Amino acid sequence: MPVSLYYYGFNMNLYQEIVMDHYRHPRNYGSLEYYDFSSDQINPSCGDSILMQGIIENNVIKELKFTGKGCVISQATASMLTQACREKSIDEVRSLDSTFIKKLIGIELGLLRIKCALLPLQALQEGIRFYKGQ
């Protein structure tokens, strides 16, 4: 039986299972036929890529989808982020940062892996900046 690790008081094995489930069965994966924003980001150090598309109504994200390729962390985080950001105001989403992402995925990450985890957030926030600029 594996040794349980604890992170912020929670069983880390549970968070690893949740991350793997989002990687194997991503939520909100796919493209939108019509969207208010579309933004892609690439991590040049590892080659991960994320494309975020969304629909915004009254400054609230109503629909959010992603496509991409890359490591478990980038793809699982994109899946988790799309769930977490639906029905949030665009101002709320613009204020999210690495602390939010770390809590969202619930596992410790090194410097290189945190870049993978932040890639979906960067794509989402860039999409919103594009939307606001129109």
* 3-class DSSP assignment, residue 118: helix
What is the enclosing helix (H) or strand (E) of 55? strand 49-57
Predicted confidence at residue 130, as pLDDT, reads 93
Residue 6's pLDDT band, with cuts at 50, 70 and 90, is very low
Q: Mean per-residue pLDDT for 76-99?
A: 97
In this structure, which topology does domain 6-133 adopt according to CATH? Sufe protein. Chain: A (3.90.1010)
- Calculate what percentage of the chain has a pLDDT beyond 70: 88
- Element containing residue 14 per DSSP (H, E): helix 12-24
What SS3 class is residue 132?
helix
pLDDT in tens, 22-60: 999 999 999 999 999 999 999 988 899 999 999 999 999
As a whole number, the mean pLDDT across the chain is 89
Strand partners, 41: 50
Domain boundaries, the chain: 6-133
Q: Residue 111: its pLDDT value, please? A: 82
C-alpha to C-alpha distances, 94 to 4, 7, 49, 124, 131, nearest whole angstrom:
35, 26, 20, 9, 12
Handedness of CA 93, 98, 99, 104 (dihedral sign): positive
Identify the pLDDT of residue 45.
86
pLDDT value for 3:
34
Containing 126, the helix (H) or strand (E) segment is helix 111-133
Q: What is the pLDDT of residue 18?
A: 87
* Percentage of the chain lying above the pLDDT 90 cut: 75
